[in-house]
A and B are shown apart, each in its own frame.
Chain A
Amino acid sequence: MADAKVIPFDEDRPRRRMPRRVRAVPAPVPAEPDPAAATPAPAPEPAPEPGTAPAERGGGWDRRIAGGLAFLRRRVTGEYEVDDFGYDKELTDQVLMSLMRPLYDKYFRVEVKGIENIPAEGGALIVANHSGTLPLDGLMLQVAVHDHHPAERHLRLLAADLVFMLPVVNELARKAGHTLACAEDAQRLLEAGELVGVMPEGFKGIGKPFGDRYKLQRFGRGGFVSTALRAGTPIVPCSIVGAEEIYPMVGNAKTLARLLGIPYFPVTPTFPWLGPLGAVPLPTKWTIQFGEPIPTDGYAAEAAEDPMLMFNLTDQVREQIQHTLYKLLVQRRSVFF
C-alpha cells in the first residue's frame, strides 16, 4: 500500500509530462527512464516544446512529413488493407489513436497498472466495467493497451448494436477495429489470436445513475465466458476508475430516450442545460488496472455448455473486478487528481 502515494507522480510516462504549475521539481525524475520508454512509441505527441533546439528536430520533422505524405498517398489511392471486420490498422494507428491520445494523456491522465497481465501474443478476453454515459472508457482502454503494452497490442472492442446503427459512428467504430458484441464475432477474433475487449454490463452499466457509481451491474448472461472457453483463451479482468464521474448522470429522460430510440437520455448537472458545452466531460483522473488472468484452457470441450460453470466463472470475474474497483477507490486521493 506504500506505493499508493507514490504512483500518481512517479509512474509517469514521458508524454504525460503536463505542465504542472505547483510542482515543477519532480519533472527531471521521470526524465531518466525516457529513452527506454520512448523507443516503442514511433509517433509521439507533436507537442512542440519551446525549450528544444529547432535544428535538432529538423530531421524528425522531415521524416514525419515524408511519412505523412506517404500515408496520404496510400489513403487517396485506396492502397491500404482492412480485415474482414473492416479494421483499418493504418488509420487507427496514425489518425484515430492520435486523436484520442490528448484526451488520454492530458485530460484524463490515465494511469495503467498490471499491463503485464495481458499476454504478449495469442487471444485473450479483457473484461471491464462500463460507465460514463458515453463509452469513452472503451476508447481509453484501447489506447491504454496499445500504448502501454510492450507488444503494442491492438484491442478489438465489442460494441452494442446501437453503435452500428448510427451513421458515421459505425464507420469509425469498424475502422477502429470494433465489432458487434455477438458470440460469433468474439469467437472468430479470439481464435484469430486477437485481444478482445468486452464490457458485459452493456447499457445497464454505462447508463446507470450517478448514485450507483462503481456498483457493477449484472454481467449479461455470461456469454463472454463461454466464448472465451470455446476459444480456450484467458480472461483478463479489468477495472476502470474515473470514468464514472465524467458525466454524472443525475436523471434519465426516459420518454425522450424512447422517442429517440436510444436506451437512455442522460441528464447531468450541465447537460442538456448548457447545450454542447454540457457535453464536455469532467476532467477526472483515471486508473485502469488489469487483474490476474483467469485461464480457461484447463476445461473440457463441453464445459462451455455447462451453465453452472458459466455462472461461477462469471461471478468470479465480476467479483474480481468489483474488488479491485473498491481497492482503487480507497487508494484514490481525489476524483480530479
Chain B
Amino acid sequence: MGKVVLVTGAARQLGGRFVRRIQRDPEVERVIAVDAVTPPHRLGSAQFVRTDIRQSSIARVLAEHGVDTVVHLAVTGGRPLAGGAHSAVKETNVIGTMQLLGACQKSPTVRRLVVKSSTSVYGGTPRDPAVFTETTPPKSLPSGGFAKDAAEVEGYVRGFARRRPDVAVCVLRFANILGPFADSALAEYFSMPVMPTVLGYDPRLQFVHEDDVLEVLRLAAQEPRRGTLNSGTFNIAGDGVLLLSQCSRRLGRPTLPLLLPALTWVGSALRAVGVTDFSPEQMRLLTHGRVVETTQMREVLGFEPLYTTAETFADFARSRGNGLLPPERVGRAVDRVAAMLDADGLRDDVDTVEGAQR
C-alpha cells in the first residue's frame, strides 16, 4: 500500500529537505514535488512537476498521480524566489491555497492534508495572554503581511475540513523556524552586524529547529501512531523562551535600541536596500514577542522536539559565525577583571574593601 505524497513549495529550502526526507519512508511509494520555479537543490528520486499552484492545473496533477497525501508548504513569509514581487508571495499563499484546496475537494483520492501555518496567526498585542494555546482567539486580527495570509489560509483550510470530513486535516502552527539552513526573515535579522530593536521592549521569542519541523511534518503526513491523533491544529515550538536581549548576547551581535517610529523608518530603509525584510509583522514580533503552549503537540500529536528553543538558537548561532562581540570574548574580559580583583584581594583584604567601597 504505497502512498503518493504531493509536496508544494518544493523549491524552498524547507520544502526541498522535506521532499528528500519523506521519500526515505518505507510506506511512501512516490513523492511529487511541486513549485512554480525549478528548485536549485536536488530532490532525490522525487518527481518534480513545475506548476503554479495558483492555476487550476494543480487539479490535473492530483488526478494524474493519484495523490493521497498533500503537504502544503507553500505558505511562507520569506522573500519571493527568483526575483519575484512581494505580492507574488502573498498570491501564492492565499490564491494558491484556495486553488489547491479546490483541487483537493474534487479529488477522490486525497485522504490527508497537512498545512504549514505559523504562530503569527495569534498576532501579539499587550492585551494578549502571555502564552497562547491553540484555542486562544487573537485580540486583533493581523492587519497584513504573512500573519494575515496565514490567518486567511487557516480559514480556507477550516472550510475545506468542513466540506470534506473524510480527509484528515492537520494544521501545524510553527514558531519561528531556525537552524543552520534557515533563510527566513528572522534569520536574516539575526545575521545583521548590529540588530535594531524597539527601545523599551524585550520580546519573548520561541524557536523551532528545522530538523524538528521536518520530523513533525513527516509525523503529520503519516497514519497516526497508536494513542495519538494527527488531525487538528497544533502549536509547534521548542521548549523554553529566549528574550531578544539574550539572543543578541548569545549571538554576540550588539543591539541598537530605537524608538518605535524611528525603527519603522529604519526598517523600511533596510527593506528598500534589500538588507533584510523588515515587515510590520516582524516589527510586531520584535515588540511584543510571542509564546505558545505545546501541550497539545506532546500529548495529542505525540511529538517531542529534539531541540529546545535555546538549543535551536545555539545551533543557529554556530552556523552564523561570530558577531562583533562574541560571548566568549566578553566572558573572558569579565574573567580578566575578576582575576585582577582577585589578585588585589590576596594582597590585602582591607585594600579590596576600600576599593570596592570607592
Contact = CB atoms under 8 A, between A and B. Distances in A.
B204 A86 contact: yes
A58 B353 contact: yes
A54 B299 CA distance: 59
A11 to B, nearest CB: 32
A78 B327 contact: yes
Interface stretch (B25-33, B228-236, B239-247): B239-247
Contacts of A48: 357
A78 B248 CA distance: 8
Interface stretch (B39-47, B214-222, B267-275, B344-352): B344-352
A77 B317 CA distance: 13
Given A48-B357, A58-B353, A170-B200, A84 B130 contact: yes
Contacts of B126: 161, 164-165, 170, 180
Interface string A193-217: 0000000000000000000000000
Interface in A32-68: 48, 54-55, 57-59, 61-62, 64-66
A174 interface: yes
Main secondary structure of the interface of A (DSSP, over half): helix
Nearest to A57: B353
B266 interface: no
Contacts of A59: 349
Interface string A161-204: 10011111111001100011010110010000000000000000
A86 B341 contact: no
A22 B206 CA distance: 57
B188 interface: no
Interface stretch (B58-66, B155-163, B328-336): B328-336
A82 B334 contact: no
A197 to B, nearest CB: 15
A54 B348 CA distance: 12
A78 B238 CA distance: 18
B226 interface: no
A70 B245 CA distance: 18
Nearest to A76: B330
Interface residues of B, number: 45
B131 A184 contact: yes
Interface size class of A (residues with CB under 8 A): 35 or more
Contact of A84 (B200, B241, B330): B241
A17 interface: no
Nearest to A187: B129
A155 B198 CA distance: 28
A167 B258 CA distance: 11
Contacts of B289: 86
Nearest to B335: A73
Contacts of B247: 78
Contacts of A95: none
Contacts of A188: 130-131
B189 interface: no
Contact of B246 (A65, A82, A85, A166): A82
A80 interface: yes
A54 B330 contact: no
B356 interface: yes
Contacts of A169: 200
A72 B335 CA distance: 10
A235 B343 CA distance: 53
The 7 closest A-B pairs by CB, nearest first: A167-B200, A78-B249, A58-B349, A164-B126, A168-B200, A184-B129, A77-B327
Interface of A: 48, 54-55, 57-59, 61-62, 64-66, 69-70, 72-73, 75-86, 88, 161, 164-171, 174-175, 179-180, 182, 184-185, 188
Given A61-B352, A65-B345, 8 more contacts: A69-B341, A70-B338, A78-B249, A79-B327, A161-B127, A167-B260, A168-B199, A184-B133
5 contacts: A58-B345, A76-B249, A78-B249, A82-B243, A165-B126
